[in-house]
Chain A
Amino acid sequence: MDRAISVKNIAKRFGGTVALEKVSFASERGMNIILGPNGAGKSTFLRCVDGLYRVERGSVSVLGEDPYRNDQLKEKLSLLTDNYALYDYLTVADNLRFFGRLYGLGNAETMNRSREMLERLDAIEYIDRKVYGLSRGTKQKVAFCRAVLNEPQILLLDEPTAFLDAHSAEMVRKVLAGYEKEGKTILFVTQKLDEVTRFNGKISIMSHGRIVRETTIDGLYGVILRNTVVNFRLARPIKKSTAMRLPGFVEANAEAATLLKFRVGDYRDVSKTIGELLAEGGKIVSIDYMEHLIDDLSR
């Protein structure tokens, strides 16, 4: 659903601390990402959209309803917070059964859905274990399983892959990709640039309680890779003297170079440099660059 989330000019304070100020946002179908450093107000924003906090000014509309006042709306909505929010002294299964009951699901249905998701996330073996003994990564998998239990139309995620290993993080991303294909709305807050660049969606950059820029993956790379040094790793070396003739050359690791550094004006130059290296007989195995600080993006 387009514009499933519509936020207009909201403000939220905690005592004297301004958490959000004049924030407006309209979601698009699929993935919506809010990127920002610690303390930017991302988690508070997510909680306002979920209806956990009452906003002091402005309005929040989710599927046309006020999430703060309409409890039943949460049947179509789900929030995964960054602190797992699981009951330590209950088993994984008891936690999931409890939340299933609050969503109006029977125990059998809850456990069928849970088993399927836990199997996908390689966490099924922990289903009868108490939560307090689990690792952070496993808790996050269980919390993710809980968040998708009600098969929500709108999924609100706060750093969902923060403590996951690479394989599990990829599994979570695949689940999210499936949600995107189904036309559901995902609002994902993170401070990791790397995570953002794995999705193609609307990107809002938040800083000091405000959304300071709205962009796309194209626009983001336009900033990240502006006048930046990019590393090219080669499987088959090329001569340093050959590389030096190419535009933007910075340095090579040896005369028969397997690591080359080029300065690019923007991300489009990366493709040009790849073409030139291939033309010189280079076999490229990876390209990387020094990641920007998120704070730089929000200035």
Chain B
Amino acid sequence: MIFQDDIVNFGKAYAIATKDLAEVFTSIEIYGPMIGVPMFFAVMLPVLTFYVTQHSAGSVLSKLISTPASVAGISASAGLIFMTFFSISVLGPIFLTMPILTASVIAADSFAGEKERKTAEALLSTPITRSELLLGKIIASFVPTVILTVAVFAVYGYITNYLSYQIFQQVILPTPTWLMMLLSSPFLAIATIGIVVLVSSHVKGVKESQQISTLLVLPILVMPFAAILGIADLSVGFFGWLIAALAVADVLIIYLGVKSFRKEFML
């Protein structure tokens, strides 16, 4: 129960969530780019990494990485170090933007979309509580985001392993760091959804809502550069702290979002 005065009928929350998901997944124009683009990158980026590894790993490695990458017990050949470093510390954060981008698309459509398409009036005229509405819409944004992120990590992990095995007869992923990175994605998704709820009173449409919530990708995109420059070590410890910080931020953002949310914001 989110509010003392609110009753949650999970059947109604579930109905809202399934309706939102049905809306997203009935039109290929909506779900096609949302799934297709990340999947394309999940294939292409490991292939590019493999190409660079084969042709110029040594020189790139000596220029980019000032300190020897201590990569979890894997053979110290330059190519393998490069491919491991790049697959985890560069591609990992890039794919970590997935939960933010996907959650922002679905959540913005779910909240601001009702306002934009003027369907909110009928929805809010039914006997649903604020908690049922928020719960339904948060589920509708969270579940596909996590599934899609796991799928993208699985595809990019598989391609990376397949390619690394071709040259080094070794698989690279998963490593504990990579798994921690994946574990942080639900927390990023919740933060994104919380921001969409928070800004729902101030935005007029889906685009505005998306633009504000996708600002979260900026700190994530700093990670690869920080790793390359040796400023940050994207280790298990780093992601442990990141998850802890995100968990606190999620509670705060969701609390503020839920507390400030009024149903008429959707009108």
Contacts and interface: CB of A to CB of B under 8 A. Distances in A.
A101 B121 contact: no
Contacts of A88: 117
B124 A102 contact: no
B36 interface: no
A101 B11 contact: yes
A146 B125 CA distance: 11
Contacts of A47: 121, 267
Contacts of A77: 125
A52 B26 contact: no
B150 interface: no
Interface in A137-161: 143, 146
Contact of B12 (A79, A102, A130, A143): A102
B76 to A, nearest CB: 54
Nearest to A146: B122
B248 to A, nearest CB: 31
A139 to B, nearest CB: 12
A94 interface: yes
B119 A89 contact: no
B127 A94 contact: no
Contacts, number: 77
Nearest to A103: B126
Interface stretch (A68-76, A202-210, A281-289): A68-76
B125 A90 contact: no
A231 to B, nearest CB: 41
A87 B264 CA distance: 19
Contacts of B217: none
B124 A98 contact: no
A131 to B, nearest CB: 10
Contacts of A191: none
A146 B126 CA distance: 11
B193 to A, nearest CB: 21
Contacts of A104: 9, 127
B19 A86 contact: no
A81 B26 CA distance: 25
A94 B23 CA distance: 10
A221 interface: no
Contact of B15 (A52, A73, A79, A101): A101
A85 B119 contact: yes
Interface string B130-164: 10000000000000000000000000000000000
Interface string B101-120: 00000000000000001111
B127 A89 contact: no
A94 B18 CA distance: 11
B22 interface: yes
B26 A89 contact: yes
Interface of A: 47, 50, 52-54, 71-75, 77-79, 81, 83, 85-90, 94, 98-99, 101-104, 130, 143, 146
Interface of B: 9, 11-12, 15-16, 19, 22-23, 26-27, 117-130, 262-264, 267
